[in-house]
Amino acid sequence: MPSLETLVAFFGVAVLLGLTPGPDNLFVLLQSAQRGWRAGMAVVLGLCAGLVVHTAAVALGLAAVFAASALAFTVLKFCGAAYLAWLAWHSLRAPVAVVDGAAAAEGAAAPEGAAGARGAAATPGLARMVGRGMVMNLTNPKVLIFFLAFLPQFADPARGSVAPQLMVLGVVFMLATLLVFGAIACFSGAFGVLLQRSARAQRWLNRVAGLVFLGLAVRLVTVTR
């Protein structure tokens, strides 16, 4: 078990890393703005689930085997890039459904209600958003390489077996991620509510999201070990 001082220091570093702009927190921000804070929190839970897998891989030594395989690294990064490109395509083609609070309260006209229903039907469920977050995390080989290099720095062999210490550190990292990314999801979701009242704003947001996802896909394809 790591010392309390080590855990506090590690938690602080993890929070700072969570606040540093990157693919994961950008993904949370855009999904929350497009689909609301609940969807954003679902993505965060998916990302944390992915971190569980990465932590276990590091603790069991599987990450070192993966890092040594150029083929595995290449296959995984292309899978991740393909998934991001797929998200970009769907963002660019996403339907626009304006939410008018006053009209909804008074009973909107039938065509507007039908449009809202179509928009709601096109919005992925929370379980699917959790899956998106998990796939986003697991198909990014840089996350696994980062964990392989980062977690062992805070483990002390003098305090016992390293594997349990790595698992504890992984849990602390997930808590920091949940805290920081959860805050991003809530704030971005609140801002997204305003955008949902403007069809033009939604179209621009969808275009920006699509271009960002496409850019992340290109960035992932070009990364090296």
**Alpha-carbon distances of 199 from 10, 39, 74, 83, 100, rounded to whole Å:** 43, 20, 40, 27, 11
Range of the domain at 150: 32-222
Q: Does residue 17 contact residue 149 with C-beta atoms inside 8 Å?
A: no
User: pLDDT digit string (tens) for 38-64?
Assistant: 999 999 999 999 999 988 888 888 777
Q: Report if residue 3 sits inside a domain.
A: no
The verdict on residue 63 lying in a domain is yes
CB 31 within 8 A of CB 39: yes
Domain count, the chain: 1
Q: Is residue 84 a part of any domain in this protein?
A: yes
Classify residue 178: in a domain, yes or no: yes
The reply to whether 196 falls in a domain is: yes
Tens of pLDDT along 113-145? Answer: 434 443 443 456 889 999 989 998 888 887 888
Q: What is the pTM of this model?
A: 0.74
